[in-house]
Amino acid sequence: MNDPRLNDSDLVDETLRRRFEEAWINGAPLPIADCLPDPEADSYLSTLEELVHIQLEFAWKTHRPGSDTHPPAVESLLEEFPPLDLPDVIERLRKQESECRNRAADTIGTNAIDDTNPVVSSELSDQATIPPPPSGGNLADDQTLVAAVSVDHPTVVDESISKIPAGTVPQIDLEGYELLGELGRGGMGVVYRALDTRLKRVVALKMVLAGVHADPDELKRFQLEAEAVAQLQHPNIVQIHDVGEHEGRPYFSLEFVEGGELASQIAGEPQPPEEAAQLVETLSRAMHFAHERNIIHRDLKPANVLLTADGQPKITDFGLAKRLEDESGQTASGSIMGTPSYMSPEQAGRQQGQIGPPTDVYALGALLYCLLTGRPPFQSSSVMDTVLQVLEKEPVPPHQLVPGLDKNLETITLKCLQKDPGRRYQTAEEVADELQRFINHEPILARPVSAPERAWRWCRRKPVVASLILGLALSLIGGTVVSSLFAVSERQQREVAETEQQRAQQRFEQAVEVVDRLVQVCQHLAFYPGVQEDRVELLKLAGEYYGELSDDASGGRELRINSARTLLKLGGVYQQLGDTKKSLEVFRDSESRLQALQKQPGLQDTASTALADCRIRIAGLLSDSDQTDQAREVLEAVLESFDGDSDGGELAARASYTLAAILADQGKPDQAAQQLEIAVNRYRKLADTPDASVNLVFGLATSLGQQGKLLVDLEKLDEAVGRLKEAELLLRDRVVVSDDVDPRHAKQLAVTRSQLAAVLQELDRESESITALEATIISLEALVQLVPDVTEFREDHARALINMGQLQHLLEDSATAALYLEKGREILVDLHESADSDRYIQDIAAAQLMLALIKMDLQSDELALVADLLDGAVNLFEQLGPDAPPNDKRILATYLAEAHLAQSVLQERIGQADGAMSLAKRAQALLETLVESGRDGTQLDALARCHQRVAHLQQLKKDTAGTTASTAAALELREELAKRGRYRRALAVLLAESEKTRARAIKLAQDLTQSQPSSFRTWLTLARVQMKAELWPEAHATLLEAKKRATGIPSARLHLMTAICLARLEKPAAAKTSHGTGRELLQKHAPANTDLLELAARAEKLLSDPR
């Protein structure tokens, strides 16, 4: 055949060919005409024909059967490109088109591909069984196990291939290909390096060893591998080029990757951690691409990762690939598919029903482990030993093999290698994202497995052994109970010696310790939803034994006091089970016994201490049951019981803390503050010792956090910051520090950071607030990752995201704000849809209100969407209001007023001035009613903004008297708030509007910069006031100070104000630069913000006419 492309002077333009092919691989194909050389170039015809071949190949691969459109036919391409109209060229193109059509038709006919019924893949290859290897027989750990040949279809390997020595070039006349050498072979097939003589490129050609005698399952697996790879057009997955058959032997050609296998690069040596993380991150994204198309690889390992010349990885060998929705072939008993050292437990354990994306996640972890340590996580001298290791053993932590290895990278690796698929990352994309965090030096979400969780997993894997151990422990408890009761009986008869009493006491304490440990495990398990039924059963069992241990109070004095104490533990068990009534009954029983023991000589001190503990617990239950007066009386009596020789230690601190919480709930903040100060001082004395327990430090941190919260309510914000920062440091540095993190402690750290961020925001300390909120979000993301099914933590996470969105909006970064708000609202909606109550509706409505405000700054042409969001929020607030508790009613009324204010702004935006005034007045009336019953700072601020809004609308109507009255009302409220130390920036801005009060405004703003020197917005306020007074040099100097504090704040306002100042100072070049930056930030972060647009227009006018 005369092929004009084979002439030396007529070569393909490789640069254009690669560009065209990569565009198809990346899913963004280019027109052929865009990738052609000059028509006069010698390479034109060859390049044109090759591009057509590539387009035919990819277009038919991606064609959806049944769709109305089809890939362009060769005839239409001949019309578009007349130079192709040569007999040989037409013959080649039509032949390829026919092959592509046939492959598409075969795929449709064989597997019924469509969007709603994904194709069954290599599951069929699992139908045969792998018998165990003969005694003493070994198989390399990196060798893939495939199903053995079935008896019904014995495989006869074609001798023309099987007898060829490995590495030699076989004499096979395969049309369109010239075989250049053998690359490798396995039990089923052989791979050659070959030249595609049509497209003049080197390929890898894979062919079945057996000819017409091939086992049907082998042929099916071979076909399914080709189909799987054909659907995966991704730059990090080896691409398939052609499928065919030669003398009864199926084959397909693949992209040839010249860099060799990853296994050869590793060669038993640990690789640099950063490079290992980057490589697996890339592979994880490629596998996620495959998983999205319902394909599971099932044999990921270093030998199945090829490297390009520049080191880019490509996944190959989908010979064991499986489709997620394939139910046609169930694995036969004894069948194991995969490579032992890299296969997941569900593959090794024949749990084929669990195979899914987490299966490949496990293999990615095993591959990462090998990169980091130079060896797979499990390897042995025999296949079965390796399989048993996969099923029963935990991998050696990588840092034990490579000292100094980064702990975060080890945590990611071991999370991938969890035995339970549900505890791994659930998608390969999650693995990629986590590795990207590591690469970016950001906190990762995963946490090391804690000791209790490791023990529990061991028990789940070893149920028989665990049962025996539990039986022994309970036998110890039962034996101790019997021994104790026997000793008690003997003591009643006064026939037992003092040594027997001591022995009985010792046995009793041992028994209690065993059950205590059981209860501690249950406390940890409370945050793992998958084991809640087991946890309840264990708690009930612990309760039974506590009951037995506390059942007889007739023995010696020490035994009886301990028996009464054990009732406290039993009450705690009922609290964990949520049975408040039963818990209170048990505590009352304990109280009665302890009161009786308190009267006996020698037991007063011991019994009194236990009695105080008991009564604090009773008070807590009474408070939870809304019996706060009774609870308060109990706690006051407890505190009075401590004499002058002792301050009561931890019990007194607990009592003061609990009493403070009750007093705060009863609306007595000053008394609550006094008790909290006492609690803090007591805890501090206990915690400031070298051997202080974590619980004591946690008690101090919690008390400080509550003190900070109370100080906020008392409007002592600076003091509140100090307490909250101290609490955060204690929790971070002394409580949430070990691998075995108690989720309750982690939750308190997140709560404290959130409270700190809120106070800092109110103090206009923006950068600090952003930092605290970012830390809050990271803490909660980690907590949700640790215990994903605990709705409380997901709710907290959503609120933190919404708070960050609100802060970003205040800083006029509406684009970033929208991302946080939408994500937080999405979590709340998910929680609402899975809940049986309407508890999330209020938060969803509030987020919707905030989102509407943000959308107004982002989308000036989509105000109808904003109106819908606001109407929906108003409806929700109005529906929730009537049935809400009193405090919630005030919050809902405030939200409703804010929504009406937003609607007023929207009405003005669309030219409806009367509607805008009506809505502003409605908001004003709501807020005036609220402040009549309590002058809350937040509501006073909202009312002041209402008056300012009304004044603005009256000014537009030229209602001078109304404007003056409304401004005066706003000013009065601002003055009241400023005296409390709140919203002073707003007062300065309002004062600056009048020439009479402008000097005072400047003085107030200057004072604020002195008291809040780190506040970006405070310096911006001072500059704004100075610009009102036309103090241009001073304003410019102030803006430079503001810029120093704008780290991480993309403020268009800062740059636009700077542009105005520079223009006034006759520095046009610098002014133009600042204006450009401000305009760019405005377009990116708040393109429809009317205030900023007016500022930009003002700057533009000055630049065009400085006068």
Q: Decide if 296 contacts 356 (C-beta within 8 A).
A: yes
CATH number where 674 lies: 1.25.40
562 with 596, same domain: the answer is no
Tally the domains of the chain: 6
Q: Decide if 93 contacts 52 (C-beta within 8 A).
A: yes
Q: Which of 664, 685, 706 is the last residue of a domain?
A: 685
Residues of the domain holding 220? 153-255
**Residue 545 has which token pair?**
């034994």
Q: Report the pLDDT value the prediction gives residue 103, as an integer from 0 to 100.
A: 59
Q: Decide if 1103 contacts 1071 (C-beta within 8 A).
A: yes
Q: Report the pLDDT value the prediction gives residue 702, as an integer from 0 to 100.
A: 94
Residues 6+ apart with CB under 8 A from 83: 39, 44, 45, 48
434 with 466, same domain: the answer is no
Question: Where do the H-state alpha helices sit in 393-461?
Answer: 398-401, 407-416, 428-439, 451-461
177 with 233, same domain: the answer is yes
402 with 484, same domain: the answer is no
Q: Which of 646, 585, 651, 594 is nearest to 618 (CA)?
A: 585
Q: Report the pLDDT value the prediction gives residue 155, as an integer from 0 to 100.
A: 32
Q: Report the pLDDT value the prediction gives residue 468, as an integer from 0 to 100.
A: 34
Q: Report the pLDDT value the prediction gives residue 649, as an integer from 0 to 100.
A: 85
Residue 299 has a CB neighbour count (10 Å cut-off) of 24
Q: Decide if 209 contacts 190 (C-beta within 8 A).
A: yes
Q: 535 in a domain, yes or no?
A: yes
How far is CA 309 from its chain centroid? 35
Residue 393 has a CB neighbour count (10 Å cut-off) of 12
Tell me if residue 307 falls in helix, strand or coil.
Answer: strand
The string over 501-530, giving b where at least 16 C-beta atoms fall within 10 Å of a residue's C-beta and e elsewhere, is beebbebbbebbebbeebbebbbbbbbbee
Q: Decide if 710 contacts 724 (C-beta within 8 A).
A: no
Q: Decide if 557 contacts 603 (C-beta within 8 A).
A: yes
Report the C-alpha gap between 986 and 994 in whole angstroms: 14
Q: What is the pLDDT of residues 99-108, one digit of tens each?
A: 777 655 433 3
Reduced DSSP (H G I as helix, E B as strand, rest coil) percent helix, strand, coil of the chain, to 5? 65, 5, 30
290 with 435, same domain: the answer is yes
**Residue 961 has which token pair?**
């008297």
Q: Report the pLDDT value the prediction gives residue 495, as an integer from 0 to 100.
A: 45
Question: Where do the H-state alpha helices sit in 112-215?
Answer: 159-162
Q: 1017 in a domain, yes or no?
A: no
Residues 6+ apart with CB under 8 A from 861: none
Q: Which of 962, 963, 1012 is nearest to 983 (CA)?
A: 1012
Q: Which of 685, 706, 729 is the last residue of a domain?
A: 685
Q: 1035 in a domain, yes or no?
A: no
Q: 936 in a domain, yes or no?
A: yes
Phi, psi of 271 (to 5 degrees): -100, 160
Phi, psi of 315 (to 5 degrees): -80, 135
Q: Which of 49, 82, 111 is the last residue of a domain?
A: 111
Question: Where do the H-state alpha helices sit in 910-936?
Answer: 913-932
Q: Decide if 140 contacts 155 (C-beta within 8 A).
A: no
561 with 602, same domain: the answer is no
434 with 455, same domain: the answer is no
274 with 386, same domain: the answer is yes
Q: 78 in a domain, yes or no?
A: yes
**Residue 953 has which token pair?**
């609308």
Q: Which residues of the chain register pLDDT less than 50? A: 1-10, 105-143, 145-167, 212-213, 327-335, 450-456, 458-497, 552-555, 644-645
Amino acid at 22: E
The DSSP string of 189-248 is EEEEEEEETTTTEEEEEEEESB-TT--HHHHHHHHHHHHHHHT---TTBPPEEEEEEETT
Q: 490 in a domain, yes or no?
A: yes
Q: 40 in a domain, yes or no?
A: yes
Amino acid at 439: I
Amino acid at 23: A
Sign of CA dihedral 851, 853, 856, 858: negative
CATH number where 190 lies: 3.30.200.20
Q: Which of 769, 851, 779, 759 is nearest to 804 (CA)?
A: 769
432 with 330, same domain: the answer is yes
222 with 266, same domain: the answer is no
Report the C-alpha gap between 655 and 668 in whole angstroms: 17
Q: What is the pLDDT of residues 34-57, one digit of tens each?
A: 889 888 888 888 889 888 988 888
599 with 465, same domain: the answer is no
198 with 169, same domain: the answer is yes
Q: 56 in a domain, yes or no?
A: yes
